[in-house]
Amino acid sequence: MTNKINQLFKDQQDKKLLSLYFCAGCPTLENTGEVIKTMQRRGIAMIEVGIPFSDPLADGPVIQSAATRAIKNGMSLKKLFSQLQEIKEEVEIPLVLMGYLNPIMHYGIEAFCKSCVESGVSGAIIPDLPFKDYQDVVKPIADKYDLRIIMLITPETSEERIRFIDDNTDGFIYMVSSAAITGAQKSFDDAKQEYFRRINAMNLRNPRMIGFGISNKQTLEAAQSNAAGAIIGSKFVTLLNESKDADEALDKLFEALRS
């Protein structure tokens, strides 16, 4: 069976994809399954499920606050896997876990990969995973379970390293729109647009998704016209926290993306 991430990009080559991030266990401990099923029903192509961690270095205040709340609510990796297992048969779109190395190491790399597959997860993004550790330790185990480990690139990443990542990963490449932390932006400046064009011109093997700072029509269109699609995190997390209801949060998000 083909990995769902690979299948998504194969099936949707011309469609501009929209992927959303939310933090598991926020706003409530038990809403993970409901949020995922609602997003799928509303046409979201791929979902990033955040593993809450006490020290999320790459995240801005919105996602940091969501992680703190989720931990207070009692969310853990073990709890998350059991929630995902419950809805596994109902989820057809790719799920990607996004989390830091510490909780994953604590859980155990092999146990993590095995639990991902058992609960219907197709990939993982581990922002603080050193590439050498990925190659030497994580990749052989992830490959055994057909789990995609997604790597991030930024405007500061050298062409040599980008090509190295492209040659040694599968699924998609996460293009971070700026070297800053996560958070909504009103527009992408010339430097970011130039970065998007530069990566486009490299003709990479893997499809790319652009994330960080997408919150309105301008940033969404810029991302979708320069990659396979866009990933939205902070904006959706804010709306979900405010409304406590995934449908309502999505209504407001789609409205913001039209303006």
Catalytic choice (11, 14, 34, 59):
59
Element (H, E) at 184: none
Is 143 designated active site?
no
Rg (CA), the chain: 17
Which token pair is 98? 């996004």
Catalytic choice (14, 30, 48, 245):
48
Is 92 designated active site?
no
CA distances from 131 to 114, 142, 169, 207 (A): 21, 14, 10, 19
138, 111 Cβ separation under 8 angstroms: no
145, 117 Cβ separation under 8 angstroms: yes
Which token pair is 138? 């994580």
Tell me the CA end-to-end span of the chain in Å, nearest whole number: 40
Q: Annotated catalytic sites, by residue?
A: 48, 59
